[in-house]
Amino acid sequence: MKRPVSSTRTYGAQGMVAPLREVLVKRPGPAFGSAFDDPAFGFLRPVDLPRAQAEHDGFVGTLRDLGVIVHELGIETYDADLCYTYDASLVTDRGAILLRSGKACRRGEESSHAAWFEARGIPVMGAIEDPGTVDGGDTFWIDHETLCIGRTLRTNRAGGEQLADIWGGEARFFDVPYGDGPAKLIHLLSLVSPVDDDLAVVYLPLLPVGLWELMRERGVTLVEVPPEEFDTLGPNVLTVRPRVVVMATGNAVTAGRLREAGVDVHELPLGEVGVNGTGGPTCLTRPILRG
């Protein structure tokens, strides 16, 4: 059940499809530009930084055109993945939860988020602690009261249990397939993107069966991504409001199927800032306020 938005509420994003009001982003900088030099970051090719920045600027511009308030993290560190702001924290109606990535070179991103939250008066409910690991990409809200958590190579059992305890509400756990392993990591949100309460984009070949069953029980229609559009971020769709989405170009079949389902699709080139670092529109935002 969706909760009405208070006119005074300044944070809280317990959902994936309620109108996106405010997000946190990080424009790619020098660290992103040198990402390919360190194999630990897993970029596909040397980075064209001006192109990545132009793509990110276009992405931010589209969000603003769609009525979203966009906040810039405004710092630069050694971490090339810092621009994928979805992964380092989670924002609930009671405050933020700081996560702890299973990718060692991303540890510390949560501190940058914590400083941003503190500066804006957003309370921090808790933090994932060693030996727990959680990436934000392994979490999504199937409804306002239910948090889905994927167990993957980035999110372990200890971290998932800590997150469920801090959240304190209903949590559902799903094991995500190993796939090709660390060289081609799969997050839970690599496989599913809710577009409305009754509509979701999915990559069925790797979708956990338990999640498939849960969505069927709830009457969710599934828009299937073809195999040839998996690596080009076809399943990674950012919902700005119900049936209004932003997605990467190069996924014509998925975009067409969404339009056939009555979805307003905004396609953007994200080959450098997205595909190269394996992070799509959802990954590039940390929702601060929805509803």
User: What confidence tens digit (pLDDT) does each residue in 207-220 have?
Assistant: 999 999 999 999 99
Do residues 113 and 89 lie in contact, with contact meaning Cβ atoms separated by under 8 Å?
yes
Pairing mode, strands 95-98 and 124-127: parallel
In a domain, 10, yes or no: no
The pair of structure tokens assigned to 278 is 């394996």
In a domain, 204, yes or no: yes
* Type of residue found at 178: Y
What CATH number is attached to the domain comprising 175?
Answer: 3.75.10.10
Among 109, 117, 102, 215, CA closest to 160 = 102
Average confidence (pLDDT) over 12-16: 97
In a domain, 149, yes or no: yes
Query: Is this structure's pTM higher than 0.75?
Result: yes
pLDDT score recorded for residue 182: 84
In a domain, 2, yes or no: no
Domain that residue 278 falls in: 20-290
Among 62, 98, 102, CA closest to 186 = 102
Length of the chain: 291
In a domain, 6, yes or no: no
Q: What integer best gives the mean pLDDT of the chain? A: 96
Could you report how far apart the first and last alpha carbons of the chain are, in Å?
12
In a domain, 8, yes or no: no
User: What confidence tens digit (pLDDT) does each residue in 80-110 have?
Assistant: 999 999 999 999 999 999 999 999 999 999 9
DSSP-derived letter for residue 131 is T
Q: What total of structural domains would you count in the chain?
A: 1
Task: Identify the residue whose tokens are 């989405």.
Answer: 245
